[in-house]
Structures are given as structure tokens and as C-alpha cells.
Chains A and B, each alone.
Chain A
Amino acid sequence: MISLKDGTSTSEKTFLLGVLKEHRRIDGRSFNDARNVDISFGKDFGCCVASLGNTRVMCQVTCQVKAPKATRPNEGFLFINVDFPLMSSILLLDNDQLLQTRTELVRLLERCYKEARVVDMESLCIVGEEKVWELRVDISIMCDDGGMIDCASIAALSALCHFRRPDVTLEGEEVTIHSIKSRDPIKLSIHHMPILVSFSFYENGKFVLMDPDQREQKGSEGLMVVGANPFRELCTLHRTGSVPLIKDQVRRCAEMVALRARSLVGYIKKELEKDGALRSKREHAGFAAHLPRSLMVKPPVEVIDVERETRDIPMRDIVQRVSAKRTGNEVENMSIEVGKWDVPKGTKDESDFDESSASSDVEMVQQVTAEEKKTVEEISIMSDSEEDEVVALGAADLGFQRQKPKPKEKIGKPADSQALQELSKDKPSLKQVDGHAATFLKTLGNVDKELGKQINYLTQVSTGQPHEGSSYAAQKVLQMALHRLEHARSRVNESERIRASHMQQLINAGFISRPQSQQMQQATQPGTPAVQPQTPQQQPQM
């Protein structure tokens, strides 16, 4: 967000890099850890304070009736405003910088909440072409310790979910707006809940930190803000600074944001429920109720374990990939992960999503219910160990890969026929034709890509290379079984040989008559030609 050249000492920068090189972070987090989030709701609807570590942001949603735009007569407005006092951040030195940061914040939030269509705008219409609701989201930064945008997005989302607008009734031409006291106010209809998460980069993208605090932000070479919702849909991607990133890093970041969004949205929903329960019981809701009763001072913070082991396995993995050449195995692994992003989803209900997605996703959901930090760690480990994944993904991904190209071809047909239709008209609109052609080309490109992937996959199957979702696991089991069989056979041979030698001893002692034993020896000898030189003393070692 803010990349400040001056006001940062070289000592801080070099020390930060030194710490990162030891795979630690200054505050003891691991590279993929985010700080703790806390949200509390005010007495009014749509008022929320969110904190992320020491960063605190307050958000208030209000509404008023306005005339709609002529181009969109049935849609309401969503207006986002960020109030950013100069005192809230130590980084800000002058007004220019403040304005720049403010604009950046507003634009990002608009992109994430307005352009990604979080709020159903048509439900804000009262009378078409005459009266619509305008929602105003006022965000004020109270304290900046890095991650303003993350915190602002959490506050804005919580406030939007918490907000209720007054009920409206229409009688002929007459519009009545009921006060909150006389009639229960109405919730906004929220389509999906995206969260913004920032990442900072160091040493040309060698180190990537999730949720950097102010010190880390100051020393960073570049920042990236990724917005995604719990359905693993990307909503925003914004980059500042001049760090060359590789695709895998962006993907990994997006992957992590989706996971974080899932846990955060769960948390927000839980807090909303708590607040709703308090309100329905007519108990005290609001900031005062959220404060701990006995202690007005901030309680002593847990001492951070300075020497905590870092668990940044996936990031280190990426770094290795930058330096080392990629193996076919890894590339295949990634392509499957990417494929998951564009799973076509009919419904946006979370429960439906869980059932429809691959088995690996179900596993992730279970982990998300556990502690937040743990989740990131466990998942990173899961996606890292390939053998586990073979078992977990297996058939589900195979089926999924085969299904995928189909809907895209369906989309493709209307696009090209539309383009032709447009051309066949008397007055073809060049713009529309271009648009349709572009869509068609894009679809073709997608089909091409999928086909390439499919071919790649088939080559791997036919050449017997190890890969995800193949018979690799079964082959391994088979191989193991063969080994075991071999082992068993040698054991059997061994015991047979010992039996024969004992028999020989008995014969020598004269307990059994000779002809019988000779027959036995002749029967066993052809089976065990290699084992014969061994002595009976070696038997216990087997």
C-alpha cells in the first residue's frame, strides 16, 4: 500500500532482511501467519470496529433515498468513503501522501465490494427510475500498524452484513418509509463475502509475507493485495512496487487468501449471530458490551515466543522452484490446483459448494473449523506432500478434469454464432462483432489450454510417469506386494532347505531309511539352487 522511501532507516531494512533469511519474522509469526482479528459491533446497525493486530478501523454504513442514474434505473448506489486522519499513521509525512493512500484504499475497496457485486443493487430499488437507496460506507482508520486495507475490508464487510435498512411500503404512488422502531428493518442481500489480504515481497520476491505489519511494509520491495471469497473466487488483485513475481507465487497467495477468507467469514458470521442473539434478547449490544467487564486496561499480552520454529514450507518450496528447474511432477501438481479455481458453480450456497467440490476441499473445510493459524499450516503441508495427495485427490480430480471442457464449449458456440449473426445483419455493429469474436477466441484459447492439459496428462499416463490421479499409487502397492511375495518365497525356500538338512542329519543318525530321504532331497533341490550354499546358522537373521 504505502511504500515509503524516506523515514525508514537502513538499519531496519537490513535487519528485517536478516531476520527473513533465518526464516523468521520480527513478531514471531511464520511467513504465512496473519495477525489476530477482532470485530465488535456498535449499538446502531451497520457500525463496526475491526482490529487486526494493532491496526484498528471503524466502519459505519448509512443509507438515504436518492434518484437513480438514468442508465441504471433499477439499481441503488454503493458509495465508499475512507477517512484517514494524519495522526493515525506514523508513516504519513504529508498531505500528498495521505491523499494518494486514501485514493488507493477507496479504489481497492470499490473494486472488491462494488465491482465484484457484493451487495444486490437491484434490491435497493424502491420505485424504478424514481427512488433508490444509496448505501454509504464510511471507513475511518483509527490506527495504522500495517494491513490497513485488510482491516478496512473486514470492517466494511462486517458492517454491510450487520446493516439493516428501514422497511418501505408502496401504496399506489405513495412511498412510506417506516422508522426502525415501528417496523423491523431489513437486511441487505449480500451475494458473496470477499476479503482483502495483503502480501509483501522481499529480495525480488524470494520472501513473501502474509499480512505484513508496518515495519515489514516499510522495508518491503513490493506489495500485493488479493481479494477472494470463501468460494475460491478471485475478486481483486492489486500490485504495487516493481517486484517480478512468478505465476506460482500469485497462485499460492490466492490460494491462501481463499482459505483465510473462509475462516474470517466464518468468524464474522459467528460474531453477527452473537450480536443478533443479544439484540433479540434486548440485552446491551454495542461496543460497551463487547469490552471485558472487570478490566478496562488492555490485558497483558501473551509473550511472543521469539524462537518459534518457522513453518513456511510452501513459500520455501516456491523459492526452490524459482532457483531449481521444475520437474514435471510439480508442474502437474500446480495445474490441478489452478484448475480448481474455475470450477463452475451453479449455486453460491456454501454447503452446496462443499459437496460439489473435490474430496480435498472437504478435508480443508474440516481444518478450517479448527484454529486459524493451524489451518494454514496444515493445508500447506497437505498440498506439499505429493503422496498424500495422490490418495486424497485421486478419482475426484480425474473426473473433474474430464468434465471441465464441456461447459466451455457450450459457451463457445453461441459466441461465434452470435458474431456471424451480427455480421449477417444489414447494419452490423462492429463493436458487438468484435466483442463476440473476442469472447469466442477466448473460449477457443480456453479449450486449447484444457486440451493441452488433457494431452499432457495422457502422455504421462501412457509413458508411465508418476502423476496425480493415476494408477501410480496402485502401481506402488503392486510393487510392494511383489517385493513381499519375493521375500515370502525366499523364506519358504529357506525353511524347506533347513527341513532337508535336518532330515539329512536324521538319516545320518539312522532314524529314517535312506531311499525316502533321497527322494525328498531331489524334490527340494531344483527349487532352491541359489539358497543352498547358506548355512543353517544364518536363519535367525532373516
Chain B
Amino acid sequence: MNFEPGEIVMPGDVLVDLDITPSESRFIIGPGLRREDNKILASKSGILQKKEPHIFWVNSKERRYVPVRGDAIIGIIIQKGADTYRVDIGASEPASLSVLAFEGATKKTKPILQIGDLVYARLLVANKDMEPELVCMDSAGRKRGLGPLEEGFLITLPLHTARRLLSSDWPLLHLLGREISYEAAVGLNGRVWIKGRTIKDTLAVATALETSSECRSESEMRCLVERILACRAGVAQED
């Protein structure tokens, strides 16, 4: 291994060259890493991560989304066709979403979506040669939380911040949820949909999420949540 976990890697860095240092062990490579012949290269700049025994990936900070199969994302309808919607998912090209890819949809009972509506969907097809394709249900035909999102507010976060929101050791959404009741949908394309009871609540959550991208540790994040909740409570008393 030319790099240790925790080190910064740049695109093109060779992590392992099996021709030079033959290794018996298997490597499982995740996002940001790529195999070329007998080499493992970094394709993104970021911090190399390792999970025992042999899983490697690169944790990178970016704002532009590159579609990955199976990601749950939030898209905006930009065009309506006879049997497909075209959806902007924040990637280099828009994705397509079949009208029949909703729970219980048939040719006669189609969901009615307008241009500008939000959908929470999963990427079914994502590769570099084809147009990405979305679905709003799982393989069994149930919606599982996917589907159109109504009202609320949409914010765009850096991708790593959105990913971090979903990880179990980053309880930001839970901490906020103790005081504020709200709904949220986190898309891996960096888009987060929030709907609180009032505009104030939605704003408070949106501000917390946006500012949390600057937090470097969990204690900072807890401090941030406390301050935001205190602000909110302070105003409630004044009212």
C-alpha cells in the first residue's frame, strides 16, 4: 500500500500496483477508487478510508453529483412526456422517470405531476454511457417512502454533508427532531427536502443543516443545534 488510511489522495495516485508488490489479499474498492489493469488508482481527491478487513474508499468533498445506481435522490420535474417525465437530479444530464414507476400506477391511473414538482426517487440505471433512469418504488412495487414531495423547502448541501446526515454517528436530524417536528428527505445528490409545521421551523432546520456543513466534529454540531434551538425558543417566548 502506497498510502495509509487517513491520508489525502489525489486523482491518479497509485494506491497499489500488483505488478510491483504482488499481494494475496483481496481488495474491495468503493467510491473514488478505480482499478486499471493491475493497479488501483484514486479517481477523486479526498481522504482515504479503510474498513477492516479490505474495504477501501475515498471520502471526498464535492458539490456536483455523479449518479450512482441505487442512490435515493431528490429530483425536479423539468419536462412532461407521454409516458416519461424528465427529471433534473443535479447531475450532468437529466434523468428519466417512467409514469408507471410509481406504486399502483397503471396506464389508466397515472400520478399527476407538474413541471417544478419534487420527487424522491431511486436511481435504477446509472452508468456513464446511458441516461440515468429513476423509479419511485422498490422491486416489489411498494413505494417505501419514495414518491412526490409536496410543499416544504429544498436546500442543496455539499454531497458529503448530505451523506453524513444519513450516517448513524451524526445524529443531527434526531437532535433537531427532539424540539422541532418536521419531515425531511435526504437525497444523495445533496438535495434535502424539509417541511416543518411553520415557516419558522422549516427555516430553523434548513439553517441548521446548511451551517452543519461547516462543522468538523460532533461536539461542534451539538453546539450549533443548541444555539439554533435557543434562538427559536427565545423568539417563541417573545411572541
Query: Which of A6, A299, A301, A305 is within 8 Å of B78, CB to CB?
Result: A6
Chain B residues near A93 (CB, 8 Å)? Answer: 88
Of A9, A90, A301, the residue contacting B211 (CB under 8 A) is A301
A301 and B208 alpha carbons, distance in the complex (Å): 12
Of listed B152, B193, B203, B231, residue having the most chain A CB within 10 A: B203
Contact yes or no, B199 A19, CB < 8 A: yes
Partner of B235, one of A7, A9, A15, A307: A307
Contacting B207 at CB < 8 Å: which of A6, A13, A298, A304? A304
B235 to chain A, nearest CB (A): 4
Question: How many whole Å from A53's CB to the nearest CB in chain B?
Answer: 12
Q: For the complex, is B31 an interface residue (Cβ under 8 Å from A)?
A: no
Q: Which of A299-314 contact B (CB under 8 A)?
A: 299-301, 303-307
B115 surroundings in chain A (CB, below 8 A) = 6
Q: Which residues of A contact B220 (CB under 8 A)?
A: 300
Contacts of B193 in A (CB 8 A): 11
Contact residues in B for A15 (Cβ distance below 8 Å): 151-153, 199, 202
Known: A6-B115, A298-B214, A307-B234. A22 touches B199 (CB 8 A): yes
Q: Which residues of A contact B152 (CB under 8 A)?
A: 11, 15
- Contact present for A306 and B231 (CB under 8 Å): yes
A471 within 8 A of B: no
Q: Does A26 sit at the interface, judged by CB under 8 A?
A: yes
B203 and A300 form a contact (CB under 8 A): no
> Do residues A14 and B151 form an inter-chain contact, with CB atoms below 8 A?
yes
B222 interface residue (CB < 8 Å to A): no
Which bucket holds chain B's interface residue count? 35 or more
Asked if A10 is an interface residue, CB under 8 A from chain B, the answer is yes
Q: Which residues of B contact A301 (CB under 8 A)?
A: 211, 214
Closest to B76 in A: A9
Measured between beta carbons, the chain A residues less than 8 angstroms from B153 are 11-12, 15
Shortest A3–chain B CB gap in Å is 14
| A97 nearest CB across to chain B (Å) | 13
Report A-chain residues with C-beta under 8 Å of the C-beta of B207.
Answer: 27-28, 303-304, 306
Main secondary structure on chain B at its contact with chain A?
mixed
Which of A18, A90, A307 has its CB near the most chain B CB atoms (within 10 A)? A307
CB closest chain-B residue, reference A6: B78
Tell me which of A7, A24, A304, A306 has the highest count of chain B C-beta atoms within 10 A of its own C-beta.
A306
The distance in angstroms between the C-alpha atoms of A6 and B87, with both chains bound, is 10
A8 within 8 A of B: yes
Asked whether, in the complex, the Cβ of B211 is within 8 Å of the Cβ of A304, the reply is yes
Alpha-carbon separation in the docked complex, A14 to B235 (Å):
24
Write the nearest CB–CB distance from A285 to chain B, whole angstroms.
28
Q: With an 8 A cutoff between CB atoms, is A87 at the interface?
A: yes
Given A7-B76, A11-B154, A300-B214: A305 and B231 interface contact (C-beta under 8 Å): yes
- Give Cα distance in the complex from A305 to B224, angstroms: 11
A303 near B224 (CB under 8 angstroms)? yes
> Is B116 positioned at the interface, with any CB of A under 8 Å from its CB?
yes
Q: Is the CB of A24 within 8 A of B203?
A: yes
Shortest Cβ distance from B201 into A: residue = A306
Interface residues of B in 5-46 (CB under 8 A from A): none
The answer on a CB contact under 8 Å between A306 and B200 is yes
- Report the bound CA distance from A8 to B117 in whole Å: 9
What chain A residues lie within 8 Å of B118 (beta carbons)?
A: 9, 11
**The residue from A9, A297, A303, A307 contacting B117, defined by CB atoms under 8 A apart:** A9
Provide the B148-160 mask, 1 if CB < 8 A to any CB of A, else 0.
0111111010000
The residue on A at minimum CB distance from B227 is A303
A304-B207, A306-B232 given; A6·B88 CB < 8 A: yes
CA–CA, A298 to B214, complex, Å?
8
| B132 contacts A by Cβ under 8 Å | no
Is the C-beta of B100 less than 8 angstroms from some C-beta in chain A?
A: no
Bound form: Cα–Cα A12–B153 in Å:
5
Q: Which residue of B lies closest to A301 (CB)?
A: B214
B114 interface hit (Cβ, 8 Å): yes
Q: Is B90 an interface residue (CB 8 A)?
A: yes
Which residues of B are interface residues toward A (Cβ below 8 A)? Answer: 64, 76, 78-79, 88, 90, 114-118, 149-154, 156, 193, 199-200, 202-204, 206-207, 211, 214-216, 220, 224, 227-228, 231-232, 234-235
19 further A-B contacts with Cβ under 8 Å, apart from A9-B116, A11-B149, are A9-B117, A10-B117, A11-B118, A13-B116, A14-B151, A15-B153, A19-B203, A26-B203, A27-B207, A90-B156, A297-B216, A300-B220, A303-B228, A304-B207, A304-B211, A306-B200, A307-B200, A307-B204, A307-B231
6 nearest CB pairs, A to B: A307-B235, A10-B116, A15-B153, A6-B78, A9-B76, A300-B214
Would you mind naming 21 contact pairs between A and B with Cβ atoms under 8 Å apart?
A8-B116, A9-B76, A9-B117, A9-B154, A10-B116, A10-B117, A11-B118, A11-B151, A11-B153, A12-B154, A15-B151, A15-B153, A18-B199, A87-B64, A297-B216, A300-B215, A301-B211, A301-B214, A303-B207, A306-B228, A307-B204
